[in-house]
């Protein structure tokens, strides 16, 4: 099998799997809130994991809140920050129209609670113009959210400049950095965000654990009440998974420069070979800065669902959009916001490479596409 869906979930690293096995076999079940010896040991391990995450991200350990996923981190950031400031005169929330489904769903819930939500559309290349975001930041704005890198196109957004502008205006800034970690230098020195979301399964950790960084002085109301995680997120912490996230993040951070160069070379070769062998293919996000592993291609005139299934039958795993929006092959909201027609969006597939990708994989995927795109185009005409 060729697995090219790393933006949905990257395989758990062997080092992380080994650490998890040891944790669960050697007494990794202690409750970090208990006062007895087992509880104190769990608390010590949790604090150590928190400090390791903080070192990589460039924040204080007490600013690291462990969650159950990137989606939960996103929802907690937006809804928790809004609820903490609901009684203020500021009612406007600004975000992009290409955010992850978790953000978009949270925005709808905020609207139902009286927020004025502004969704800024991207340019044709998938990048949200900084000037357009800044124009939306009125004195009534309480919160702004822009993802660091888009999960479907890989386009990197102007989060550093926007974070600075929000801080100057006294506006809270959140960035969904789920697709940036392990692919770009992800440090709060780079992007001075008030709130930042991560998910372990995007960089070699297990699914089921994430992080929300809540900077000093930022108030977030818990969606699940409890004393854990400094009152920001109630519920017994999953200590082995917190440790697994910390280890995976450290390894991804250490290897990022080398990994980025290697996978970008493979990605660029893939795009070049596809376009040389198959007519009428465009790169969604071309001309904009992208994370090195992501290629979103529109095979104009194809039945995208048929092409996806044909590749799957060849043992090649790719995606038609966000994994959290799967279960349906409706056109991508990201591509539609970029100005693609429903037909063009439906004819687009995402190829997200990872640590396991090889040159042989590239050749095999190009060959499979050369074989199946003509038949997928014929199906679209029926």
Q: Angle at the Cα of 359 (from 287 to 350), degrees rounded to 5?
A: 45
Q: In sequence order, what are the beta bridge partners of 283?
A: 297
The widest CA-to-CA distance across the chain, in whole angstroms, is 69
Asked whether 16 and 244 are in contact (CB, 8 A), the reply is yes
The counts of H helices and E strands in the chain are: 11, 12
Instruction: Locate 23 and state its tokens.
Output: 């944790």
CATH of the structural domain 2-7+256-380, one choice from 3.40.50.360, 1.10.3720.10, 1.10.1040.10, 3.90.1150.10: 3.90.1150.10
The whole-angstrom separation of Cα 196 and Cα 176 is: 6
User: For residue 152, what are the contacts with CB-CB under 8 A and spacing of at least 6?
Assistant: 7, 98, 284, 296, 321, 322, 332, 334, 335, 350
The whole-angstrom separation of Cα 183 and Cα 332 is: 23
The whole-angstrom separation of Cα 124 and Cα 351 is: 20
- Placement of tokens 């991804």 in the chain: 252
Phi first, then psi: give them for residue 341, nearest 5 degrees: -75, 160
**Among 59, 166, 298, 324, which one carries the catalytic annotation?**
324
Tens of pLDDT along the chain (382 residues) come to 999 999 999 999 999 999 999 998 876 678 888 889 888 888 999 999 999 999 999 999 999 999 999 999 999 999 999 999 877 788 999 999 999 999 999 999 999 999 999 999 999 999 999 999 999 999 999 999 999 999 999 999 999 999 999 999 999 999 999 999 999 999 999 999 999 999 999 999 999 999 999 999 999 999 999 999 999 999 999 999 999 999 999 999 999 999 999 999 999 999 999 999 999 999 999 999 999 999 999 999 999 999 999 999 999 999 986 455 444 568 999 999 999 999 999 999 999 999 999 999 999 999 999 999 999 998 766 5
**Half-sphere exposure (Cβ direction) of 272: Cα atoms closer than 13 Å:** 6
Pairing of strands 172-176, 141-145: parallel
Please report, for the chain, the start and end positions of each structural domain, with discontinuous segments joined by +.
2-7+256-380, 14-252
Element (H, E) at 349: strand 348-352
Closest Cα partner for 164 from 193, 131, 135, 195?
193
Considering the domain 14-252 in this protein, what is its CATH number?
3.40.640.10
144 is catalytic: no
Asked whether 146 and 159 are in contact (CB, 8 A), the reply is yes
| Model pTM score | 0.95
Q: Three-state DSSP class for 144?
A: strand
The whole-angstrom separation of Cα 275 and Cα 295 is: 12
Instruction: Locate 135 and state its tokens.
Output: 């124009």
């Amino acid at each position: 099998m060729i697995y090219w869906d790393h933006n949905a979930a990257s395989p758990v690293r062997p080092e992380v799997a080994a650490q998890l096995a040891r944790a669960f076999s050697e007494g990794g079940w202690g409750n970090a809130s208990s006062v007895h010896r087992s509880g104190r040991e769990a608390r010590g391990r949790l604090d150590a994991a928190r400090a390791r995450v903080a070192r990589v991200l460039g924040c204080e350990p007490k600013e690291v809140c462990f969650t159950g996923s990137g989606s939960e981190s996103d929802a907690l950031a937006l809804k928790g920050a809004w609820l903490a400031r609901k009684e203020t005169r500021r009612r406007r929330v600004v975000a992009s129209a290409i955010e992850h489904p978790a953000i978009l769903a949270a925005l709808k819930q905020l609207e139902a609670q009286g927020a004025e939500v502004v969704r800024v559309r991207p340019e044709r290349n998938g990048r949200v113009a900084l000037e357009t975001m800044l124009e939306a930041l009125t004195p009534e704005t309480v919160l702004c959210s822009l993802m660091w890198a888009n999960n479907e196109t890989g386009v990197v957004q102007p989060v550093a400049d926007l974070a600075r502008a929000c801080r100057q205006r006294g506006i809270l800034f959140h960035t969904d950095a789920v697709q940036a970690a392990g692919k770009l230098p992800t440090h709060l020195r780079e992007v001075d965000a008030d709130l930042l979301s991560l998910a372990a399964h995007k960089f070699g950790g297990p699914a089921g654990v994430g992080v929300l960084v809540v900077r000093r002085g930022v108030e977030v109301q818990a969606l699940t009440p409890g004393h854990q995680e400094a009152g920001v997120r109630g519920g017994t912490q999953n200590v082995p998974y917190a440790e697994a996230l910390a280890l995976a993040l450290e390894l991804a951070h250490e290897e990022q420069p080398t990994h980025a160069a290697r996978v970008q070379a493979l990605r660029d070769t893939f795009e070049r070979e596809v376009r040389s062998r198959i007519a009428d293919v465009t790169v969604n996000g071309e001309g904009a800065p992208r994370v090195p592993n992501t290629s979103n291609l529109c095979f104009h005139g194809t039945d995208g669902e048929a092409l996806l299934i044909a590749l799957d039958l060849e043992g090649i795993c790719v995606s038609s959009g966000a994994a959290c929006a799967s279960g349906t092959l409706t056109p991508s909201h990201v591509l539609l916001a970029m100005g693609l027609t429903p037909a063009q969006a439906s004819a687009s597939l995402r190829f997200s490479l990872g640590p396991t990708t090889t040159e042989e994989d590239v050749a095999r995927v190009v060959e499979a596409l050369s074989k199946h795109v003509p038949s997928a185009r014929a199906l679209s005409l029926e």
